[in-house]
Amino acid sequence: MQAATMSIEQLTVAMDGRQILRAVDLRILDREKVALSGPSGCGKSTLLRCLLGFVPIYSGTIRIGGELLTPTTVWRLRGRMAYVPQEPELGEGTVREVLERPFSFVGNRPLWGNLQRIPQLLEQLLLPEALLTERVTDLSGGEKQRIALLAALLLDRRILLLDEASSALDQVAKQAVIDLLSATAELTVLSVSHDQEWLGVADRIVNLAELQGRMS
> What does the per-residue mask of binding to other proteins show for 132-151, with x meaning CB under 8 A?
----------------x--x
Name the residue among 86, 15, 33 with its Cα closest to residue 201. Answer: 33
Interface residue with other proteins, options 54, 66, 184, 197 (CB under 8 A): 54
CB atoms within 10 A of CB 189: 22
| Parallel, antiparallel or unpaired: strands 59-64 and 4-15 | antiparallel
Cα Rg, the chain, nearest whole Å: 17
Residue closer to other proteins (CB basis): 45 or 212: 45
Interaction of residue 43 with other proteins, rule CB under 8 A: no
Per rule CB under 8 A, count of chain residues that contact other proteins? 31
Residue closer to other proteins (CB basis): 49 or 211: 49
Inter-residue contact 90 to 136 (CB < 8 Å): yes
Residue closer to other proteins (CB basis): 53 or 60: 53
Interaction of residue 112 with other proteins, rule CB under 8 A: no
Residue 14's SS3 state is strand
Residue 153's SS3 state is helix
Q: Where are the alpha helices (DSSP H) in 15-139?
A: 44-51, 74-77, 95-100, 118-124
Interface residue with other proteins, options 33, 44, 78, 144 (CB under 8 A): 78
Inter-residue contact 148 to 85 (CB < 8 Å): yes
Residue closer to other proteins (CB basis): 35 or 147: 147
Residue closer to other proteins (CB basis): 32 or 163: 163
Provide the binding-site residues for other proteins, judged by CB under 8 A.
Answer: 16, 52-54, 56, 71-72, 74-75, 78-79, 81-83, 85, 87-92, 101-102, 104-108, 148, 151, 155
